[in-house]
Structure 1
Amino acid sequence: MASNLPTLRIGPITLDFPVVQAALSGYSDSPMRTIARRMGASYSLCEVMLDQFLVAYKERKRTSHYLHISDEEHPVAGQLMGAEPEQFGPAALKLVEAGFDVIDINFGCPVKKVLGRCRGGFHLSQPDVALEIVERVRDAVPAEIPVTLKMRRGIDDTAESREMFFKIFDGAYERGVVAVTVHGRTVMQRYIGPSRWDFLRELKQHAGDRVILGSGDLFTAQSCLDMMAYTGVDGVTVARGAIGNPWIFSQARALARGEALPDPPSLLEQRDVIAEHYRLAEELYGADRCLPTMRKFAIKYSQLHPQQLEVRQDFCSVKQAGAWREVLDRWYASDAPGVHPTIDEPAPVMAGEVA
């Protein structure tokens, strides 16, 4: 049964479903992206990479995972962040050469260390530099490679910040960007407080036919559909809500077909996905090096287990390569119903509400 939602276009690329996996620093590597695609995400973005790193990049065993793309991931975007405009073009070309289908420029990261180095969300405070970066990337990569942008709704909620946002937003499309993802929080908010979906609604009305993806407070399949229905955005990117819960994509597809929300995955279904995620990570990083990366995911996967605190503790105690299999044998050996993860996040702010 087909989705009741329209397809999503990223330049020449047509996606069959408008719910995609966002770029997630420290998370959205090739194994996570592969699992997300298998579970229903129509598209994904890699964890953000620095221009300086890419310009100097020489493939070595310890760094090869950054540019690894599995055959089943396409289309997939490479996300780029940096400070100096002149480095963005050569860095973007490295991503194209690695096989990424789309180049996404990050003007949204709110992390203090990033802002202090004049990267990410800092560029929302300097429209001329931001638009120079867009021009350099668009000029550097082949015409058939779409260029997209990630933004927040501004540095803060001042009138000056709003003016700078719209100068960058409109200017980016004029310079060849085909889609912009906008997070409903400001840079200064980071991840504190609610996301303002009203801003996304206003922005889509302003943008008209230009493609916008919404971001912020998407922790359930229903919230993905709610954001599109309320704001009118063309698609949504699921970030933190997809860590350890790739089922959010198949659940969103079911809701879009008019079906009831599927039950959370059973323990055996969880076991299969966790085991495959670990297998892909071991294949990419090696049995020892994958442990720190997979520990972060396992903590999130444990939230779908009815005994999540005990399962989380066991996953965190894994210190030896392959010992995670003992955790699966202990907690996922027999089938039982899973649970939907607890959402401990503020609700988005919509018309008539006060933050």
Structure 2
Amino acid sequence: MLPPLRIGPITVATPVVLAPMAGVTNRAFRTLCREAGQSTGFDPGLYVAEMVTSRALVERNEAALRIVTFGADESPRSAQVYGVDPATVGAAVRIIAAEDRADHVDLNFGCPVPKVTRKGGGAALPWKRQLFTDIVREAVGAAEPYGIPVTIKMRKGIDDDHLTYLEAGRIAEGLGVAAVALHARTAAQHYSGVADWESIARLKEAVRTVPVLGNGDIWSAEDAIDMVRRTGADGVVVGRGCQGRPWLFADLAAAFNGSDARVRPGLREVADVLYRHGELMIDYYDGDEHRGVRDLRKHMAWYLKGYAVGGEARHALARVSSLAELRELLDTLDLTVGYPGADAEGQRGRAGTPKTPHLPYGWLDSRELDAEFEAKLREAELSVSGG
């Protein structure tokens, strides 16, 4: 067992964090994960909302404000902010804190997708030391009067020749962040290959006064325990491993509290969770059934991974457009099918292959940010969610 995870004034009894994932970790999915963790009788972890861009928050964009709207039973409330301009990030964090929209703010320095990195954001940003420093300082300063802890989530760096994680971790620690999380891959790896857990151990050696959390290739509770044992991390951040498997948080809660109980759902149980997910999605979209069910489609393949469901049924579920249709399609499945074991576990979705990161022209020429780049970054803030 690990001691509780302390993030500023917040104590998380089970040191497990749901990673923010764009288009996935909205209130509906967070509810399923939290309920799964609570079902064990152990205190659950921390569930982070999907990433929201600072500019969209400052402009009071409706979709952005929806992302940082939490359920009445969500506590602590955790939001992740992305941005490339220090002043805008600071203003966004101040809105969240002053309007009591969250109890914790995480800063995104780990997103590897081109539409983010080509603007100098996400995993590309720590390469510019002063820009990284200024953003973290502004965020911490904006949150501090309200007692809101700020954390960061990052990658190892842009690629193996441009690693930044140790320096960024030490800078963030010195600026007063409450925890540092590392996805143990570079931006160039995207989600391919094997996560370098040894880098988490090195970060733990470098950052000594705040918790260090490890992320990458946690597909089971056993993986999480193994990561902590091998790296000395203070907790884990779980992303793709829980897609279509919110019950993974029951396994994690049990494992970190010394229990070997594990959830092994048959197809009937999966169908019940999937249907509830649909109901929660509709509620998240204020009763807009078509929008809620349409947004559920991306989850179908994850939920059904490994189960004996024919191609025709999978195709129909991936095109479902109403709750009644979802119920009807689920009822046509052979719900007596039991848990398929390892086939339902492991990696979710496509890991892909290494990719050359998309960066602003000349980004790697210097660690410093010149005036021209600075002006471009201010214009480059994205809207709503950066992926």
TM-score by length of 1: 0.88
Cα separation, partners in 2 of 1:65 and 1:325, compared to 1, 3 Å: farther
- Kindly state the Cα deviation for residue 258 of structure 1 after the two structures are TM-superposed: 3.9
For 1:117, give the aligned amino acid. Answer: K
Match of 1:49 among 32, 52, 64: 52
Cα separation, partners in 2 of 1:63 and 1:10, compared to 1, 3 Å: closer
For 2:116, give the aligned amino acid. Answer: V
Q: Distance in 2 between matches of 1:260 and 1:91?
A: 42
For 1:55, give the aligned amino acid. Answer: V
For 1:95, give the aligned amino acid. Answer: I
Cα separation, partners in 2 of 1:304 and 1:19, compared to 1, 3 Å: farther
- Kindly state the Cα deviation for residue 263 of structure 1 after the two structures are TM-superposed: 4.8
Q: Secondary structure at the match of 1:181?
A: strand
1:193-244 superposed Cα distances (whole Å, 9 cap, x missing partner): 1110111112212223420110011112211111111111001111011111
For 2:84, give the aligned amino acid. Answer: A
Whether the aligned pair in 1 keeps the contact of 2:169 and 2:207 (CA below 8 Å) is no
Q: Distance in 2 between matches of 1:344 and 1:172?
A: 31
Q: Distance in 2 between matches of 1:137 and 1:115?
A: 20
Per the alignment, residue 123 of structure 1 pairs with 125
Q: Distance in 2 between matches of 1:344 and 1:243?
A: 9
For 1:207, give the aligned amino acid. Answer: V
Per the alignment, residue 182 of structure 2 pairs with 182
Q: Distance in 2 between matches of 1:312 and 1:220?
A: 25
Per the alignment, residue 22 of structure 2 pairs with 25
Whether the aligned pair in 2 keeps the contact of 1:110 and 1:120 (CA below 8 Å) is yes
Per the alignment, residue 79 of structure 1 pairs with 80
Q: Distance in 1 between matches of 2:340 and 2:69?
A: 33
Per the alignment, residue 15 of structure 1 pairs with 12
Cα separation, partners in 2 of 1:328 and 1:64, compared to 1, 3 Å: farther
- Kindly state the Cα deviation for residue 65 of structure 1 after the two structures are TM-superposed: 3.0
Q: Distance in 2 between matches of 1:139 and 1:207?
A: 20
- Kindly state the Cα deviation for residue 83 of structure 1 after the two structures are TM-superposed: 1.5
Q: Secondary structure at the match of 1:182?
A: strand
Whether the aligned pair in 1 keeps the contact of 2:182 and 2:213 (CA below 8 Å) is yes
Whether the aligned pair in 1 keeps the contact of 2:294 and 2:320 (CA below 8 Å) is no
- Kindly state the Cα deviation for residue 322 of structure 1 after the two structures are TM-superposed: 3.4
Q: Distance in 2 between matches of 1:135 and 1:308?
A: 53
Per the alignment, residue 216 of structure 1 pairs with 216
1:279-319 superposed Cα distances (whole Å, 9 cap, x missing partner): 11111211011123100112211115332645432311313
Q: Secondary structure at the match of 2:73?
A: helix
Whether the aligned pair in 2 keeps the contact of 1:302 and 1:308 (CA below 8 Å) is no
1:70-109 to 2 correspondence within 5 Å?
A: 70-96=71-97, 97=99, 99-109=101-111
Per the alignment, residue 151 of structure 2 pairs with 148
Whether the aligned pair in 1 keeps the contact of 2:156 and 2:182 (CA below 8 Å) is yes
Q: Distance in 2 between matches of 1:263 and 1:242?
A: 13
Q: Secondary structure at the match of 2:290?
A: coil
- Count how many residue pairs are aligned between Structure 1 and Structure 2: 337
Per the alignment, residue 68 of structure 1 pairs with 69
Per the alignment, residue 134 of structure 2 pairs with 132
Residue 312 of structure 1 pairs with residue 314 of structure 2: yes
Match of 1:296 among 287, 295, 298: 298
Segments of 4+ moved more than 6 angstroms: none
Residue 287 of structure 1 pairs with residue 276 of structure 2: no
Percent of aligned positions that are identical: 33
- Kindly state the Cα deviation for residue 261 of structure 1 after the two structures are TM-superposed: 5.2
Per the alignment, residue 232 of structure 2 pairs with 232
Q: Distance in 2 between matches of 1:200 and 1:219?
A: 17
Q: Distance in 2 between matches of 1:63 and 1:260?
A: 40
Cα separation, partners in 2 of 1:298 and 1:227, compared to 1, 3 Å: same
- Kindly state the Cα deviation for residue 123 of structure 1 after the two structures are TM-superposed: 0.8
Q: Secondary structure at the match of 1:166?
A: helix
- Kindly state the Cα deviation for residue 327 of structure 1 after the two structures are TM-superposed: 1.8
1:249-272 superposed Cα distances (whole Å, 9 cap, x missing partner): 111223334443525112332233
Gaps of 5+ in 2: 38-43, 352-387
Q: Secondary structure at the match of 1:156?
A: coil
Per the alignment, residue 350 of structure 1 pairs with none
Q: Secondary structure at the match of 1:117?
A: coil
Gaps of 5+ in 1: 347-355
Q: Distance in 2 between matches of 1:72 and 1:42?
A: 14
Name which structure has the greater RCO, CA cutoff 8 Å, separation 6+: 2
Q: Secondary structure at the match of 2:188?
A: coil
TM-score by length of 2: 0.81
TM-align CA RMSD: 2.1
For 2:30, give the aligned amino acid. Answer: R
Residue 35 of structure 1 pairs with residue 32 of structure 2: yes
